[in-house]
Amino acid sequence: MLIDLRELLSGSSQDLTKNVSLEADTFNNGLFDYPIVKKAPFDVTINKIGTNKISIKAVTDVTLSIPCDRCLTAVDTKVDLVIDEIVDFADDASEEETQIEKDYIDGYNLDADKLLFSELLVSMPGKTLCKEDCKGLCLKCGTNLNIKECGCDREVLDPRMSVFKDILNEFKEV
Ligand SMILES: [Zn+2]
Ligand SMILES: [Zn+2]
């Protein structure tokens, strides 16, 4: 959903509150698509704080379906989002770099989905477990060890595979 910022930037109004809804049903963090299982409309408050400067504020939460780090079972994970951003539209070359990061600004529009996603990227939990003592998957046969014990001899594989698992986890946390 796009919010038109022209009235604010032209000076005909100083603040703007819009109730927006997230349009997307999945969130992609650059590696995976996470289904969004719960979302609610929320207010975005935009204030003009300088000639070409605005502040953007919103508080909401979304629930993502994130696979457990150990057994891959989908876990509904609520992520609280507090958005507090400042955007400077000043036409200054030195500002270019910061503007590029703010991909939720599209011309004179604010893209509410992208705004929320940029916050989700930094607010997502680094670790997701279906339960604290999740036993994970058997590294030999893939059985979910929370459900049943497969009887494989895993001792031999563990040292090597744990290194492999660390690499995977590191990759996921980037
Ligand atoms: Zn698990
Ligand atoms: Zn097994």
pLDDT in tens, 2-38: 999 999 988 888 999 999 999 999 999 998 999 999 9
Nearest to 58 by CA among 22, 27, 84, 87: 84
Reply yes or no on whether the pLDDT at 85 is more than 60.
yes
35 C-alpha to center of ligand 2: Å? Answer: 29
Nearest to 41 by CA among 57, 18, 66: 18
- Helix H, strand E, coil C: the string for 131-149 is CCCCCCECCCCCCECCCCC
Rounding to the nearest 10 degrees, give the CA dihedral for residues 171, 126, 44, 21: 70
Reply yes or no on whether the pLDDT at 83 is more than 80.
yes
Q: What percent of the chain has pLDDT over 70?
A: 83
70 C-alpha to center of ligand 2: Å? Answer: 14
90 C-alpha to center of ligand 2: Å? Answer: 60
Average of pLDDT values for 88-96?
64
* Token digits of residue 121: 């990227």
- Closest ligand (CA of 138): 2
- Closest ligand (CA of 149): 2
Confidence (pLDDT) at 132: 95
Count of alpha carbons within 13 angstroms of residue 14, beta-carbon side: 2
Tell me the domain boundaries of the chain. 2-123, 135-174
Reply yes or no on whether the pLDDT at 99 is more than 80.
no
Confidence (pLDDT) at 41: 96
Provide the 8-state DSSP code for 37: E
DSSP H or E stretch at residue 81: strand 74-88
Reply yes or no on whether the pLDDT at 164 is more than 70.
no
| Between residues 107 and 161, the one the model is more confident about | 107
Provide the 8-state DSSP code for 7: H
- Closest ligand (CA of 73): 1
Q: What tens digit of pLDDT does each residue of 100-122 get?
A: 568 899 888 999 999 999 999 99
The pLDDT-based confidence of 162 (bands split at 50, 70, 90) is low
Confidence (pLDDT) at 101: 66
Confidence (pLDDT) at 157: 52
